[in-house]
Structure 1
Amino acid sequence: MADRFDLAVPAVSWLAGRALREGTVLQSFAFDETHKHLYVLQVRKNGEEAGNLCLNRLDYKGNSTGHMYLQGFGHGVSMGVQNAADGTVWIWTEAASKNGYGQGVTRFRFVAGAVRTAEDVKIRKPIPGSTNNQPSVCMTSKRISVRYRMDGKPRYRVWNLESFVDRDYDDPVADFAQTGAHPDPEIPFQGYALHGDHVYQLAGTAYDAVTNPPAKRGNAYLSCIDVRTGKLLQRTRTGAGQTLAYREPEGLAVRGSRLYMGFASGTAGSRRFSLYYKAAKDKS
């Protein structure tokens, strides 16, 4: 099983100030290490209430290799890439938007230039009575997780990926409450990633002149929860990208031995994104 990342090590810049199809901020991202593709989700311009998303595919230098539109899917809080045994690459996202957030999850193949709607994908609702379902995939452990809300409170549920694909939801690996994302519970949650026996979380807001000025180097926090116990193992403020203009934390993903964080920058209507990573691991 994968080792735990040490969140206290310094962050390293990987991509800086890259553009996406829409001029909005990135919401989440994931890697297809087999084909060296980076997938990035963003809300379409004027599409937040309807849950309309743009899925960008880029190479590892940040150059676009295509995009597709997901109409009525959600907010794009998290996503996952599944490399199937037959070579198929499946993209997992939230789906069935209500009030701008997906009420289920789905998977589909990337087709450059395509438009997908809730009517032409198979939507899964693995947790009856839940809302705001958001998936993450760990190909190291062959698991999938869904962050969801039950009675308004956020939780995580984790399954073996093969069972989930077969729609066998009755025997999850774990189910636990979201905890410890930020010292201030009012600060927005900005993404998560499942990796082995751990869930990594990102929370924080963009710079502003009053509550989060650049001089204080931001309020973005990284944290780690143990899937086996549901306990918070580590939480630390990150100074990654502190010189960026605007600097809103958005999205987490794992690629090999690196945990990546996303940050939006630039001006409204013309946002850019940057990725930073932490490489060291703790063997515990």
Structure 2
Amino acid sequence: MAEHIDLAAPAVRWVREKATLREPTVLQSFAFDEVRHHLYVLQVTRGGLEDGDLCLNRLDHGGGRLGHMYLKGFGHGVSMGVQNDPDGTVWIWTEADALHGYGKGVTRFRFANGATRTTKDVEVRYPIEGSRNNQPTLCTATRRMAIRYRLKNVPRYRVWDLNAFIARDYASPLADFPQTGAHPDPAVPFQGYALHGDHLYQLAGTAYNARTNPAAHHGNTYLSCLDIRTGELLASHRTGAAHTLDYREPEGLAVRHAGGPRLYIGFASGEPGARKFSLYYKPQT
């Protein structure tokens, strides 16, 4: 894992303009269960933005929906992770305990089709005292947990060994560093991140807008890569992946190891109230 994924490599289409998510809203983030060949996708529910109400979709790798569950008061769903245990247990990691729509902590739970969970139904962890906007993801190759968080409204990342994190040993993280380099314009929204080995990948950008982000210019979506050992920005690249989509809002990053590693990028398209999702990936070359 010495080399990071080439952000300038041509993007490959994986699924395009699927309308199979439970809610008609955009995807927020996604993660792979590579053992069972499932794809999990988080959405904010209709009318649930301020309260942090999410819908978790379980899909097959063709984008077909296999089930869903609702998470009331969990957060915004900026990132998520899937943990596979040796005994076959699958845990879903998300933010939890929403304040103004974003999680003050994180949690893990098992998928239950058709169920509704509140933060009273799960054990919420608060590993970073005083933080807000806690957003977890996993590197399954190295069994590491990362959390993007805000402390005094400044975004940062913290990384732990997953086993230590599960044991609630938060005192000795592997890394802690500020978010940097997500986009040349710091006012452009952050849209997701993924951890793979010693590298952390970031996504930022907005939907097409005729005045500020015209489709003719193929959008303002940027990918970037940080070294978790130093916090250094290693690479930044504007991507034209999926530029022919209408609307085209970047939403979510994940790394899949099968045939890879590959860095997957989510995009929302379609009309309000009837959004679709697409996934493209950058292979390691």
Shorter-chain TM-score above 0.5:
yes
Return the offset for 1:87. 1.2
| Residue aligning to 1:222 | 223
Q: Aligned-pair distance for 1:16?
A: 0.5
Contact 1:9 1:278 in 2 (8 A): yes
Q: 2-side partners of 1:83 and 1:39: how far apart?
A: 13
Q: Is the 8 A contact 1:106 1:121 kept in 2?
A: yes
Alpha-carbon displacement from aligned partner over 1:243-275 (angstroms, at most 9, x marks no partner): 001000000000011110000000000000000
Instruction: Report the TM-score when normalising by structure 2.
Output: 0.98
What corresponds to 1:146 in structure 2?
147
Superposed displacement of residue 121, structure 1: 0.3
Following superposition of structure 1 onto structure 2, how do residues 80-229 of structure 1 map, counting pairs within 5 Å? 80-229=81-230
SS of the aligned residue for 1:163 comes to helix
Structure 2 stretches lacking a partner, 5+ long: none
- Structure 1 segment 9-24 matched on structure 2, within 5 A: 9-19=9-19, 20-24=21-25
Residue identity in the other structure for 1:4: H
Q: Which residue in the other structure is 1:247 paired with? A: 248
In the TM superposition, residue 3 of structure 1 has moved relative to its aligned partner by 4.0
Deviation at 1:55, TM superposition (A): 0.2
Give the fraction of aligned pairs with identical amino acids, expressed as a percent. Answer: 67
Say whether residues 1:4 and 2:4 are aligned partners.
yes
**Over aligned residues, Cα RMSD in angstroms?**
0.7
How many angstroms does 1:86 deviate by? Answer: 1.5
CA contact (8 A) 1:93 1:135 kept: yes
1:227 partner letter: I
Identify the match of residue 276 of structure 1 among 265, 276, 280: 280
Asked if 2 retains the 8 angstrom alpha-carbon contact of 1:2 and 1:195, the reply is: no
CA distance in 2, matches of 1:118, 1:108: 11
Inter-partner Cα distance in structure 1 for 2:218 and 2:18: 21
TM-score of the aligned structures, taking structure 1 as reference length: 0.98
Q: Deviations over 1:203-224 (max 9, x none)?
A: 0000011000101110000000
C-alpha separation in 1, matches of 2:281 and 2:254: 9
Q: 1:280: Cα distance to partner?
A: 2.2
Residue aligned with 2:165, SS: helix
> C-alpha separation between the residues in 2 aligned to 1:170 and 1:2?
27
Report the counterpart of residue 263 of structure 2 in structure 1.
Answer: 259
Preserved CA contact (<8 Å) 1:27 1:41: yes
Distance 1:43 1:234 in 2: 30
- Specify every segment of 5 or more residues in structure 1 that has no aligned partner in the other structure, as ranges: none
2:42 — aligned with what? 41
